[in-house]
Structure 1
Amino acid sequence: MLMLTLLGWLGGYLITTQLIFPPPPPPGDLFEVPDIRGGGLASARERLTGAGLVLGEIDSLLHPSVPEALIIGQSPLPGQVLRPESQVRVTVSLGPQLRSVPDVSGLAEDRAQIVLESSGFLVSVDTARADLPRGRVLEVFPRPDAILPLPARIRMVVSTGPALVAMPLVLGLDREEALILLDSVGLIVSEITEVFRFGRDQGVVVEQEPASDIELERGAKVRLKVGMSGRATEQ
């Protein structure tokens, strides 16, 4: 009885799997997708044809390091298997994006850096003494209007201001001698005040501002007080 039951179950299984729900036919030949990245379209088409596949849709994309016209991506990826004549989609490099170096000469350092970085450049900063005020851009390298691939590095040279000079000691000097000395180091006398010294130190510098040895930029203004010599106070 048990044997008859097993034979009946087996017969029902075979009828169900083979007649009512037969298995799908075995797949035909499957071809492995070759790696076509890094080459050109002509080479890719030739390799795909040799593998029984077809070059499909072609996209393009800017790339900072891969030269123009070379394949940077593919779908499906290498090693996957496809039916004959299946398409392989590729993405081709357009090369790096090119940008002209903007002219930021004379701009404040922070403003110039914003302009360069918003244009896609990397910025490094050097400094140099110059007559331009401190913090202003003297020049950039490469020069403005140069065409560079992004992201390129720009070297920006920023002024640290004019060379500093030490305030000379002019106390005790005759007024004219003091003016000549200060002019020789690039300092400007903005104010001369005559003070009464009980008849002493007439025409001689008795006070100076700033004090001696203080470092100043060329063109800085200084003030003097001179012993009264009978002339009207001069500004």
Structure 2
Amino acid sequence: MKLGDSLGRSRRRRKKPGASEAEPAGDAAPQGEQGEQGADSKPSTADGDDIFAPRPSLGSETKESRGWGALGKLRVRDLALVAVGLALLGWVVGYGIATRIVFPAPPPPGDLFEVPDLRGLGVASAGERLAGAGLQLGSVDSLQHPSVATGLVLGQSPLPGQVSPPDQPVNVTVSAGPQMRSIPDVRRLDRERARVVLETSGFVVDIDTAEAEEPRGRVIDLVPPPDSVVALPAEVRLVVSTGPPVVTMPLVLGLEQAEAEMLLDSLGLVVTDVEEVFRFGRDQGIVVEQQPAADTELERGSSVQLKVGRRGLGREQ
């Protein structure tokens, strides 16, 4: 038996699923023809496949699977790039919406003019100066000021030297003059109460003193006089009593009694008591003690006691 016949029979025994039934052996070609065919061509299977044709190896299948894995990695990378691109596109679109619709940029400024200094001008003069600078006068407010004359500009907005568009008005504040107030009568009040009343009314208080019959510490006069209308802040001087006039007790020791009494009377002091005390020698009729002591400050009319030297027993007069 030839090699081709044996291979053909073995091939027919293990037919592939779904393959058609082989023809009966009786229909096979004569051996002579088979031998000639086997001599001229390579052996083949019943379905015409070459039994010596190379089959796909296991290595080729592994390479093919590796190719699919690389393709999957490329697809993941592409998807990541697409996601990043979409995120950037969303940010750009959101930024555009925010800057143009939600928070639009202000329109570019037009002509700007420097604001002139209006302080010290009247309202009419201020309006003319603004018109000459290409600007317009806005609201006019008033404020009392102690030193700026009524009707003159105290302040302005915008400030001098700043720039402003022509459609933005310049607002000014003019002086309403000083605040006027009447001086309250605080005479017969003590110094501290009078000070509180005047300072609460907006005055600046100064204190002066003078001797008077009124009790010490009582207000006896005001300068300017009470009920005078003055501009605030104004200074008011209080004249406060230091009490009745005081004198300094002189030293009358060593003077004769009559001479001492004359001196004390000239100072407004009254000798109310003269006591005689025993003394030797030249102290006869001489003041040897006095009360109060010398240099004591006394009000006029205060009493003074003297002691005068006499020979013999002392006696009061």
Tell me the TM-score normalised to structure 2 length.
Answer: 0.51
Match of 1:70 among 143, 152, 160: 152
CA distance in 1, matches of 2:257, 2:231: 62
Q: Is the 1:76–1:89 contact (alpha carbons within 8 Å) kept by the matching residues of 2? A: yes
2:194 counterpart of 1:105:
no
Equivalent residue for 1:53? 135
Aligned-partner Cα distance in 2 for 1:51–1:228: 101
* Superposed CA offset, 1:34-87 (max 9, x none): 111111100111111222222111111111211111111111111222222321
C-alpha spacing 1:184/1:78, structure 2 compared with 1 (3 Å) = closer
Map 1:131-210; keep pairs closer than 5 Å.
131-161=213-243, 162-164=245-247, 166=249, 186=268, 210=292
CA distance in 2, matches of 1:25, 1:110: 65
Give the conservation status (yes or no) of the 8 Å contact 1:165–1:216. Answer: yes
Going from structure 1 to structure 2, the CA distance change for 1:212 and 1:60 (only over 3 Å counts) comes to same
User: What's the secondary structure of 1:123's corresponding residue?
Assistant: strand
Structure 1 residues 184, 45: CA separation in 2 closer, same or farther (over 3 Å shift)? same
Does structure 1 conserve the Cα–Cα contact (< 8 Å) formed by 2:156 and 2:173?
A: yes
Q: Name the structure where strand makes up a greater proportion of residues.
A: 1
In the alignment, which of 204, 207, 215 is matched to residue 297 of structure 2?
Answer: 215
Q: Identity, % of aligned pairs?
A: 58
Query: Which runs of no fewer than 5 residues in structure 2 stay unpaired?
Result: 1-95, 274-288, 308-313
Q: Give the deviation of 1:143 after TM superposition.
A: 1.4
Distance 1:141 1:228, change over 3 A: closer
**Residues 27 and 114 of structure 1: CA distance in aligned 2, closer, same or farther (over 3 Å):** closer
Match for residue 39 of structure 1?
121
Between the aligned partners of 2:230 and 2:216, the Cα distance in structure 1 is 29
Distance apart, 1:165 and its partner CA: 5.1
Per-residue deviation, 1:27: 3.3
Counterpart contact for 1:60–1:93, Cα < 8 Å: yes
State the shift of 1:169 in Å: 6.4
CA RMSD in angstroms, aligned pairs only: 3.9
Higher relative contact order (CA 8 A, sep 6+): 1
Q: Residue 39 of structure 1 aligns to which amino acid in structure 2?
A: L
SS at match of 1:133: coil
- Equivalent positions of 1:80-95 (< 5 A) are 80-95=162-177
What's the counterpart of residue 211 of structure 2?
129
Closer, same or farther in 2 for the Cα pair 1:169/1:54, shift >3 Å?
same
CA distance in 2, matches of 1:213, 1:78: 69
What corresponds to 1:96 in structure 2? 178
| Counterpart amino acid of residue 123 in structure 2 | L
Deviations 1:150-179 (A, max 9, x none): 111122222222232527869x979xxx99
SS for the counterpart of 1:114 is helix
Range moving further from structure 2, 70-79 or 219-228 = 219-228
TM-score (ref. length: structure 1) = 0.66
DSSP 3-state at the match of 2:181: strand
Q: Which runs of 4+ in 1 moved over 6 A?
A: 167-170, 178-184, 222-226
Bigger shift: residues 61-70 or 77-86: 77-86
Whose helix proportion is higher, 1 or 2?
A: 2
Q: Residue 62 of structure 2 aligns with which residue?
A: none
- Structure of greater Rg: 2
Number of residue pairs the alignment of both structures matches: 204
The question of whether the paired residues in 1 share the 8 Å contact of 2:249 and 2:293 is answered with no
Segments of structure 1 that go 5 or more residues without pairing to the other structure are 1-16, 193-206, 230-235
Q: Distance in 1 between matches of 2:140 and 2:174?
A: 7
Secondary structure at the counterpart of residue 49 of structure 1: helix
